Structure 1
Amino acid sequence: MINISNSPLHDKQGKDKEFQSQLKTIFHYLQNHIATASMITKATGVPQKNITRYKRDLQEAGKLWEIEKKKCKATGFKAWYLSTNPDNSPKSNKQNLL
């Protein structure tokens, strides 16, 4: 689980409850799903422009990984499939191959 108060994300947004709620929603959704930003918006209702910002911040915090770039099931355009599950991280996948 992400600890927002000890994260650089917390400093950027202060105690904004909506930010924390949306960030947690996305983080938890991506623990159990691998999805594009458009797919996340469709599933959670969090606006895509917000997901883009959270994606960057979570990547910088080492909590989100781009898994594969392929055709999005929601839009039909190429996009990155994302995950916050450490088992899906590129580092974890390389260790599993050894």
Structure 2
Amino acid sequence: MREIDTAPIHKRQVQDKKFQDQMSKVFRAFLSQPKTMLMVSIETGILRANICRYVAYWEKQDRVQVVKKGICPISKHGAGFYTTNLELFNAKTNDQ
């Protein structure tokens, strides 16, 4: 009888857990105060590409919002400051 290799399934479960942990950490980082993705990347040690992916996912669910645009204190370039704190969300207008 042939044995079934379950390693890939287990590896996938471990990887999914890792990304869930990262998403939670990023969500909490944006919750405390509005920050740029680069600020959160440096604070959490999570790659900015992953943070961009999480923010795009949350934007579709209206769980994150750009509350202002300004100069990032780290890169000194224009950037959006995001928040996951519902109390800080801008009121949506019909123009958007």
TM-score by length of 1: 0.76
Corresponding residue number in structure 1 for 2:51: 51
C-alpha distance in structure 1 between counterparts of 2:31 and 2:41, whole Å: 15
C-alpha distance in structure 1 between counterparts of 2:43 and 2:26, whole Å: 10
Query: Could you give the per-residue CA deviations for residues 11-65 of structure 1, whole angstroms, max 9, x where no partner exists?
Result: xxx8501110111001111111210000001111110000000010011111100
Q: What does 1:1-98 correspond to in 2, within 5 Å?
A: 16-91=16-91
Corresponding residue number in structure 1 for 2:3: none
| Aligned-residue offset at 1:68 | 0.8
Amino acid of the structure 2 residue aligned with 1:81: F
Q: Say which one has the larger Rg.
A: 2
**3-state SS of 2:46 partner:** coil
Unaligned runs of 5+ in 2: 1-11
**3-state SS of 1:28 partner:** helix
RMSD: 1.7
After TM superposition, the runs of 4+ consecutive aligned structure 1 residues lying more than 2 A away are none
Amino acid of the structure 2 residue aligned with 1:37: M
Number of residue pairs the alignment of both structures matches: 80
| Aligned-residue offset at 1:91 | 2.1
C-alpha distance in structure 2 between counterparts of 1:61 and 1:20, whole Å: 16
C-alpha distance in structure 2 between counterparts of 1:56 and 1:47, whole Å: 15
TM-score by length of 2: 0.77
Unaligned runs of 5+ in 1: 1-13
Q: Identify the structure with the greater helix proportion.
A: 1
